[in-house]
Amino acid sequence: MSTLFLTDRDVSALHDWIAAIEALRAAYAAPMKAQMVPPRSMARGDGIWLRGLSAVSPTGGHMGSKQIAASPRAGCASYLVSLFDAHTMALAALIDGNQITAIRTAATAALAVDALAPRRPLRVAMIGSGFEARSQLQALHAAREIRSVAVFSPTPASRQRFADDFKATLGLDVRAAGTPQQALEGADVVICAARSRDELPVLLGEWLEPGMTVVSIGSTLPEQREVDVEVIRRAALIVADMVEEVVHDTGDLIAATRDGVEFGHKLHALADLIGQRVPGRRSAGDIVVYKSVGSALQDVATAEMLLTRARAQGLGTELPVSIAPVKK
């Protein structure tokens, strides 16, 4: 089989939130060894970096990687996902990974919320109104019924535009809140997608109410902060997509460790939660946190879903040449 190339436009045409969430549910529920999803690596230069993530899919017959080349100084990045057939070693697909990152992050968060939040129409608080926040709400809307949404971001026009857009496109009851505390009042789920520019936490534990489910996706490096130490202290359960990386590579957990907060006994892998190997929320009043740094398992499962849909729909570009597996 030849190699299929999927552009960013192809990904837009093929994307489906429910299909992405179910692909991730199957991947996280399947038996998996730690070596199938190794830690990410990062090469750093002068104002540039290249991050690599790789995984063997437990469900779809592929193994793959995502590479991110970024220049924070220049304000640009490129994303590439490659998939290899796990039986023949043939290069099955090359995919523009720009949207995959947002899709898999939001779809995995929706999967976690579905497992952790109360079984009723959800009242959602959004901290942030940008691209990631929009993806988070779209994915959660596909996974669960939403009763209401309150959104806060520092720019009044941005949060109002967010509210207006979701009222118009999804018919949701969305209001713009003047402060984060106002957004959190009475919420079941709090989604943080707005890391501050000065790396001060945007969510404080003192604002949380019993029973809340917190999603934090914005702190993925040691220098980044999104939630304060009190959030970690008050949590009865912390679920992480990549446990070791969440503990050692995120500013939020590094700060909690530095402050002497004991959280190891309440920290569990998302795979163990979805695979029903550990219990989720133990009581209605528990505060639970889903903390994400992103995982190649998410990228590969999402890419497999896109490739399957592309083959079925005849989308994408067959490359005229590819890489031939060689005997070793």
pLDDT over 70 at 320, yes or no = yes
Alpha-carbon torsion 12, 48, 64, 248, what sign?
negative
pLDDT over 90 at 11, yes or no = yes
- How do residues 126-161 score in pLDDT, each as one tens digit? 999 999 999 999 999 999 999 999 999 999 999 999
C-alpha–C-alpha distance, residues 45 and 42, integer Å: 10
- How do residues 300-311 score in pLDDT, each as one tens digit? 999 999 999 999
pTM, to two decimals: 0.94
pLDDT at position 53: 94
Share the mean pLDDT of the chain.
95
pLDDT at position 82: 98
pLDDT at position 266: 96
pLDDT over 80 at 60, yes or no = no
Q: Given pLDDT bands bounded at 50, 70 and 90, which one contains residue 328?
A: confident
Looking at beta carbons, which pairs linking 319-328 to residues 24 or more positions away fall under 8 Å? Answer: 319/2, 319/3, 319/4, 319/5, 319/94, 322/2, 322/3, 322/90, 322/91, 323/3, 323/90, 323/91, 324/90, 325/88, 325/89, 325/90
pLDDT at position 170: 96
Stretch 25-46: mean pLDDT, rounded?
A: 93
C-alpha–C-alpha distance, residues 172 and 301, integer Å: 29
Q: Given pLDDT bands bounded at 50, 70 and 90, which one contains residue 196?
A: low
C-alpha–C-alpha distance, residues 36 and 316, integer Å: 28
pLDDT at position 242: 92
pLDDT over 70 at 56, yes or no = yes
- How do residues 214-261 score in pLDDT, each as one tens digit? 999 988 878 889 999 999 999 999 999 999 999 998 999 999 999 999
How far, CA to CA in Å, does 91 sit from each of 65, 84, 209, 213, 301? 11, 4, 49, 40, 16
The angle at the Cα of 265, spanning 260 to 268, to the nearest 5 degrees, equals: 115
pLDDT at position 222: 82
Task: Let me know: does 246 contact 268? Beta carbons within 8 Å.
Answer: no
DSSP state of 318: E
pLDDT at position 199: 78
What number does CATH give the domain 4-100+296-318? 3.30.1780.10
pLDDT over 80 at 198, yes or no = no
Share of the chain above pLDDT 90, in %: 90
pLDDT at position 220: 80
Task: Let me know: does 82 contact 281? Beta carbons within 8 Å.
Answer: no
Q: Given pLDDT bands bounded at 50, 70 and 90, which one contains residue 195?
A: low
**Least confident segment among 133-147, 183-197, 201-215, 302-316:** 183-197
The CATH H-level superfamily of 102-291 is: NAD(P)-binding Rossmann-like Domain (3.40.50.720)
Closest listed residue to residue 105, CA positions, set 191, 173, 223: 191
Instruction: Let me know if 109 is exposed, middle or buried by CB neighbors in 10 A (0-12, 13-18, 19+).
Output: buried
How far, CA to CA in Å, does 235 sit from each of 105, 108, 199, 241, 317? 21, 20, 21, 16, 47
Location of each CATH 3.30.1780.10 domain in the chain: 4-100+296-318
Stretch 192-214: mean pLDDT, rounded?
A: 89
Query: Would you state the torsion angle of the CA atoms of residues 246, 250, 253, 259, taken in this order, to the nearest 10 degrees?
Result: 150
pLDDT over 70 at 37, yes or no = yes
Location of each CATH 3.40.50.720 domain in the chain: 102-291
- How do residues 282-291 score in pLDDT, each as one tens digit? 999 999 999 9
pLDDT at position 197: 65
pLDDT at position 138: 98
Stretch 175-181: mean pLDDT, rounded?
A: 97
